[in-house]
């Protein structure tokens, strides 16, 4: 991840009041859970997905892609901005044996916002990514990192309760409930 790319993204989305948040490995980097992010993953509220695309397409090249299974995200665009790979997702979806898990992320009063050279970078909640990584193939290690962090710092119960209201495989549901119990959720 190039910091310059994230700064430009944050500046343009913030100045146009787009409801967005940083996720994936870049979000984990802000939390000190990994040393080097792979790319920049952004979640945008479904109602702002097209607007975000209009703005970000001014910064670099892009491809609108069909998500690969198990993903069934409604708005998915891959950008190359200032030499950095950026994925933007609106109404993120992951298909699994019990149905489809959907996340229409929106900023709220509890959203953690990090300053980066004077620019605000909203972070999507660790709790959301705990569930997402449990549902993604080959991402269990990242779920483990997040779970350990949540057990230390506490859990946003509202985020995990929202996840539990959706269809989830039994093993994911059990892991979420166990993490809430251990963390006092």
Contact (Cβ atoms closer than 8 angstroms) between residue 101 and residue 94: yes
pLDDT in tens, 22-72: 999 999 999 999 999 989 999 999 999 999 999 999 999 999 888 889 999
pLDDT confidence of residue 184: 63
pLDDT at position 38 is 85
Q: Please list the ranges in the chain whose pLDDT falls under 50.
A: 185
Q: What is the pLDDT of residue 67?
A: 82
pLDDT at residue 1, as a whole number: 55
* CA-based nearest residue to 75, from 86, 60, 91: 91
Residue 76, judged by CB atoms within 10 A of its CB (0-12, 13-18, 19+), counts as buried
Looking at residue 140, its pLDDT comes to: 81
Alpha-carbon distance of 71 to 89, in angstroms, equals 11
Cα 165 from Cα 176, distance rounded (Å):
12
Helix ranges, the chain (H): 3-15, 24-30, 49-56, 126-135, 140-153, 157-164, 170-182
What integer pLDDT is reported at residue 185 of this predicted model?
Answer: 47
């Amino acid at each position: 991840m190039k910091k310059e790319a994230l700064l430009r993204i944050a500046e343009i989305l913030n100045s146009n009041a787009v409801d967005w948040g940083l996720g994936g490995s870049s979000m984990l980097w802000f939390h000190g859970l990994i040393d080097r992010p792979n790319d920049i993953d952004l979640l945008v509220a479904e109602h702002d997905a097209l607007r975000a695309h209009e703005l970000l397409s001014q910064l670099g090249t892009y491809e609108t892609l069909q998500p690969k299974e198990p993903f069934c995200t409604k708005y998915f665009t891959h950008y190359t901005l200032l030499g950095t790979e950026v994925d933007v997702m609106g109404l993120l979806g992951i298909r699994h044996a019990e149905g489809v898990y959907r996340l229409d992320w929106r900023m709220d009063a509890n959203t953690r916002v990090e300053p980066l050279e004077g620019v605000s970078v909203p972070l999507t909640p660790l709790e959301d990514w705990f569930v997402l990584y449990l549902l993604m193939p080959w991402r269990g290690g990242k779920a483990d990192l997040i779970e350990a962090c949540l057990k230390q710092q506490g859990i946003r119960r509202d985020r995990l309760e929202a996840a539990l209201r959706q269809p989830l495989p039994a093993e994911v549901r059990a892991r979420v409930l166990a993490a809430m119990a251990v963390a006092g959720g």
